[in-house]
């Protein structure tokens, strides 16, 4: 009986250890399996595997969670920043989260190249770098308001540029973020989706500021058409874009 019990004990131990090893192996390989995703053929020899938000965040924007938590706690950052700066940083973080989803969706829909995906990732890494500098400076004993305000300004501007918003430093050309975002929206949502109208309207406003009124008119017309068809002429978004159109036509007459 003692021998039998000892043998049973050994078997039980082996089974238990095997189970633990299998669980550990599953845990270690889970990230790899998720990152591989589903194989898709984007044409021209571009074979890629779908990704998810965790893949993108872990690789390019790992510090964002900690930085967002710091903003939410209203700790040392709240002491060194004024309420307006805190609000702007929080909005920039929100914009970053939304844009991250957009980039991942665009990559999985073959709307952007692997190179463009990497370029977007590098910009998110730059955001992470600025966030760390902001956190570090906010924790210093000697306050440097000017430098802190400069870093916050850089973070907000980079976030706005990433989102393809109306920003005077965003150049409209074949590689412009705004045009890339428009392509992503078209591929992910379809050509007549309101998200496409938002991107088209943003590009129209940037072109208007740069003096390209013909280009501005074309993009704004497209945005207005989509909003009118989707929401009707009396919707606030439709009215805003209609106002943009009116201003562009007025400037063209000068």
Residue 141 and residue 102 share a domain: yes
Q: What pTM was estimated for this model as a whole?
A: 0.69
Residue 186 and residue 151 share a domain: no
* Residues forming a β-bridge with 47: 41
The token duo for 150 is 């400069």
Sign of the CA dihedral with 107 first, then 109, 113, and 116 last: negative
Select from 162, 188, 216 the last residue of a domain: 162
- The domain tally of the chain equals 2
For residues 61 and 127, give the distance between their C-alpha atoms in angstroms, rounded to a whole number: 8
Structural domain boundaries, residue 237: 177-252
pLDDT tens for the chain, 254 residues long, are 444 445 555 545 444 444 444 444 344 334 333 344 788 899 889 999 899 888 888 899 898 888 888 777 766 777 778 888 888 888 888 888 888 888 898 899 898 899 989 988 999 999 999 999 988 888 787 878 889 889 999 998 888 777 655 444 444 454 467 788 888 889 888 999 998 998 899 889 888 988 999 999 999 999 999 999 999 999 999 999 999 999 999 999 88
Residue 191 and residue 231 share a domain: yes
Which of left, alpha, beta for 232 (phi over 0: left; psi -120 to 50: alpha)?
Answer: left
For residues 239 and 148, give the distance between their C-alpha atoms in angstroms, rounded to a whole number: 39
Domain contains 24: no
Domain contains 211: yes
Residue 140 and residue 59 share a domain: yes
């Amino acid at each position: 009986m003692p021998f039998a019990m000892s043998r049973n004990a050994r078997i039980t131990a082996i089974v238990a250890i095997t189970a633990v090893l299998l669980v550990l192996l599953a845990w270690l390989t889970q990230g790899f399996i998720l990152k591989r995703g589903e194989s898709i053929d984007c044409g021209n020899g571009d074979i890629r595997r779908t990704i998810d938000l965790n893949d993108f965040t872990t690789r390019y924007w790992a510090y964002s969670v900690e930085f967002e938590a710091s903003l939410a706690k209203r700790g040392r950052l709240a002491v060194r920043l004024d309420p307006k700066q805190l609000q702007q940083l929080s909005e920039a973080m929100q914009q970053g989260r939304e844009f991250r989803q957009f980039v991942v969706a665009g990559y999985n829909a073959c709307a952007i190249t692997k190179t463009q995906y990497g370029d977007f990732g590098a910009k998110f890494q730059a955001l992470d770098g600025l966030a760390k500098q902001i956190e570090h400076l906010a924790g210093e004993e000697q306050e440097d308001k000017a430098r802190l305000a400069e870093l916050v300004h850089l973070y907000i501007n980079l976030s706005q540029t990433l989102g393809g918003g109306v920003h005077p430093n965003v150049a409209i050309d074949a590689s412009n973020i705004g045009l890339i975002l428009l392509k992503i929206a078209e591929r992910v949502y379809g050509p007549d989706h309101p998200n496409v109208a938002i991107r088209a309207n943003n590009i129209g406003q940037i072109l208007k500021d740069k003096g390209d009124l013909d280009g501005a008119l074309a993009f704004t017309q497209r945005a207005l058409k989509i909003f009118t068809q989707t929401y009707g002429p009396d919707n606030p978004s439709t009215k805003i874009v209609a106002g943009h159109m009116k201003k562009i036509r007025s400037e063209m007459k000068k």
